[in-house]
Each structure stands twice: as structure tokens, then as C-alpha cells.
Amino acid sequence: MSLAADFGRTLTQHVLENQEHHPDARGQLSALLTQIGVAGKLISAQVRRAGLIEVWGATGETNVQGERVQKLDQIANDTFVEVLKRSGCVAAMASEEEESFIAVPADLAGDYVVVFDPLDGSSNIDVGVSIGTIFAIYRKRPDEAVSLNTILRRGRDLVAGGYIVYGSSTVLVYSSGQTVDCFTLDPSSGEFFLTRSDVRIPEKTSLLSTNECNSPYWPRWTSKLIDTIKSRNDGPVREVSARHIGSLVVDFHRNLVKGGLYLYPVNRRTGRGKLRLLYECNPLAFIAEVAGGRASNGEIPILDMVPTELHQRCGIIVGPKADVELAEKMVRDFPESDS
Ligand code: AHM
Ligand code: MG
């Protein structure tokens, strides 16, 4: 990974220069990625005003410009939907905030299908803690009439994926399969500039991210894995530390850069996971794999899961390859049937 190696290169330049290396390159994917950058800037501007929006919302639903106040996750959703619709590049989309998928009217429809979580980390919105948008892009199958099956695709079919973190700075990360690259928004010029290129996830786990208060609901293997990782601190130097923000996309981004393992296993009592396969797990699994890491539901790679419902949830372990493989081994070694 090189830090700021090409500082000065904008997102648009980078997307256009990369298009010739992409098997799917026809210009529309580049236009779409650029428009996602535009949506990110619009949402970022609203996120920076979040506390004010909340105050205006609480005092009569009208802000100082006389506009109706909406919740931030609604604003983010509407912004993403509108920008994608008008891009001319999208045939269908699905959002974590929408009950059903959206088919784009024929006169505006393009070649791609986009799935997204417009604002991940809902519990952190009102308290000024970092949140983000997650997205993933498929190419629509030729001549396919848009239906639920247009959206229910394996992550392995993705042509691009990424996210935007609204943190101490606004960072857009994307990959179209070759490299993972990060762009930071310069608020004064309104441009995303390349700040990290060809990010590779460190091979060693130095951070552990999980909601440990869920341990009573964890499957057996989870505590065994965490004990094993913590036992690496038996030597004189601390090898692993805990970091958990509670916004998946932000936890993921920090782990990608610094080398962290994120876990949100299924609840052993309900048999259900919390995180959504299409909008959260697949895009991050795609980025993790391109960056040399791994993402698994404990049995198979996340990207190989075949979705059967739009809002399907699953368990996830994502991070450095060796420790995700260790988790998969623990899933095999400590089956629930033995408990
Ligand atoms: P959201 O999409 O409604 O924000 O829910 C997903 C979020 C993740 O960002 C986060 O990691 C997780 O839920 C936290 O859940 P919990 O409070 O159960 O630990
Ligand atoms: Mg989410």
C-alpha cells in the first residue's frame, strides 16, 4: 500500500483511468462510480449538519430554510435513490431502507444493479459517532426483465463494491476487482482525492472487533476463537487490542487499514444473524477479498452464499485470511450439536 502516492489524482480521474483495465468497461460503470461519489458528497454535507437537523426536527419539523426536516437515514436513502435513478446507469436497485426493490423507469434505465445501505450505524447517528454508506454493483444480465431475481445475486457476481465513511474526514473506498483504493474528501474543493492506493489488509490480527455483550447468544466456537486470539497477549508485548464502534462499515474500514478481525456471529438461540447479506456483508466481503483478506459465514465464503430474500441476514467473520480460516476451523471443531 502506498500512502498518498498519487495525491492530486481525483476520484473521477482514477475511475476513468482504471476503466480500460476493467473487463466490464463501457463507460457506464465509470459514470456510475462517479455519481456514487456525488451522492457521498451530498450525504456527507447532511451528516455534518446532523445535530442541527435533529434540533430542528424536535422543534417543529421545519429548518431555518423552511424545509421539512427528515431523519438522516431517510435523507441518505432518498439522496442515493435519486442520484442513482438520474445517473442513467442503473436498471434496478435495492436499499436496506426500502421494503421492496426499485425498478428504474425504462427511459432512465442503464446496465447496472446497485444494492446499498444508505446509512450504516443507525445507533451512532444521533451522537456524532462515525457512520457510513455501503454499496455494491452488479451488471444486469442481458435481456433480463427486472424482477426480484435481478437483485438476488451471489456476491461472487459483483463487478464493484465499496463504501463511504463519514468520520473525522469523509473517505470513499471502492474496488472494481483489481485493487482497493481510498479517496478523502477535501471539503474546500469538494473533490475526492486518492489518499491510499492498493490497500492490502495486514496479515496479522492486531485488533478484535465484536460486541462482546452478545456472548450469551454466541455459538460455542466464538468464545473459543476469541480466547485463542486473546491468549496471544500472554507474551511480554500486547499483540491484540479491542476496538468496536458499532458502525460495521467504520469498524471494517479501520480493520482493513490496521489489521483487524470483525465478528458478528448468528444468535445461537434464534439461529439468525444481524447483518444483511446483500447490503452489508457482500460489499465488505468483496473489498476484503480484493485486499487479500477473507469473509466467511463460518462455513463458506460470504460471496458464495446464494440469497433467497432481499433483507436476508447472516453471520459474518471478516478480516485477515489466516484468522478467518481459524474461525472456520473452530466452527467445524465445536459444532452446536455437541453443546
Ligand atoms: P444498521 O444498518 O441498522 O445500522 O444495523 C447494523 C449495525 C452495524 O453497523 C453494527 O455493527 C451493528 O448493527 C451493531 O449491532 P449491535 O448493536 O447488535 O452490536
Ligand atoms: Mg447497516
Query: Residue 91 in contact with residue 110, Cβ under 8 Å?
Result: yes
Cell of 185: 474528501
pLDDT tens digit string along 87-101? Answer: 999 999 999 999 999
From CA 135, how far away is CA 143, in angstroms rounded?
A: 24
pLDDT tens digit string along 100-138? Answer: 999 999 999 999 999 999 999 988 888 889 999 999 999
- pLDDT category at 274 given cuts 50, 70, 90 is very high
Cell of 172: 470513499
pLDDT at 61 over 80: no
Cα angle at 148 between 146 and 154, to 5 degrees?
105
- Helix extents (H) in the chain: 11-19, 28-47, 50-58, 72-87, 148-151, 220-230, 248-258, 282-290, 321-333
Residue with cell string 454535507? 45
Return the ligand number nearest the Cα of 131. 1
Count of other CB atoms within 10 angstroms of residue 108: 14
Mean predicted confidence (pLDDT) in 149-162: 98
Cell of 279: 447490503
Q: Say what the pLDDT of residue 114 is.
A: 98
Mean residue pLDDT of the chain comes to 91
Query: Residue 325 in contact with residue 294, Cβ under 8 Å?
Result: yes
pLDDT tens digit string along 196-215? Answer: 999 999 999 999 999 999 99
Q: In what order do the strands lie in the sheet with 160-166?
A: 2-3, 191-197, 181-186, 170-175, 160-166, 131-139, 112-120, 90-95, 102-103
Burial 228-262 (b: 16+ CB within 10 A, else e): ebeeeeeeeeeebeeebbebbbbbbbbbbbebbbb
Q: What is the pTM of this model?
A: 0.93
Q: Say what the pLDDT of residue 305 is.
A: 98
How many angstroms is it from 202 CA to the middle of ligand 2?
25
Query: Residue 199 in contact with residue 291, Cβ under 8 Å?
Result: yes
Query: Residue 159 in contact with residue 177, Cβ under 8 Å?
Result: yes
Query: 122, 134, 284: which to mutate for ligand 1, most atoms within 8 A of CB?
Result: 122
Residue type, 138: Y
Count of other CB atoms within 10 angstroms of residue 42: 15
Which range, of 5-9, 59-63, 154-158, 231-235, averages the lowest pLDDT? 59-63
How many angstroms is it from 301 CA to the middle of ligand 1?
21
215 Cβ closer than 6 Å to some ligand 1 atom: no
Say which CATH class 3-196 falls into. alpha beta
SS3 268: coil
* Domain residue spans of the chain: 3-196, 207-338
Strand partners, 5: none
Residue type, 129: V
Query: Residue 279 in contact with residue 115, Cβ under 8 Å?
Result: yes
From CA 196, how far away is CA 181, in angstroms rounded?
A: 6
Return the ligand number nearest the Cα of 212. 1
How many angstroms is it from 10 CA to the middle of ligand 2?
28
**Domain 207-338 is of which CATH architecture?**
3-Layer(aba) Sandwich (3.40)
How many angstroms is it from 337 CA to the middle of ligand 2?
31
SS3 306: coil
Q: How much of the chain exceeds pLDDT 90, in percent?
A: 82
Using the atom order of ligand 1, give the atom closest to the CA of residue 251: 11
pLDDT at 69 over 80: no
| Conformation bin of residue 145: beta by default, left when phi > 0, alpha when psi is -120 to 50 | beta
Cell of 202: 495486514
Q: Say what the pLDDT of residue 59 is.
A: 46
pLDDT tens digit string along 23-33? Answer: 665 679 999 99
From CA 218, how far away is CA 265, in angstroms rounded?
A: 7
247 Cβ closer than 6 Å to some ligand 1 atom: yes
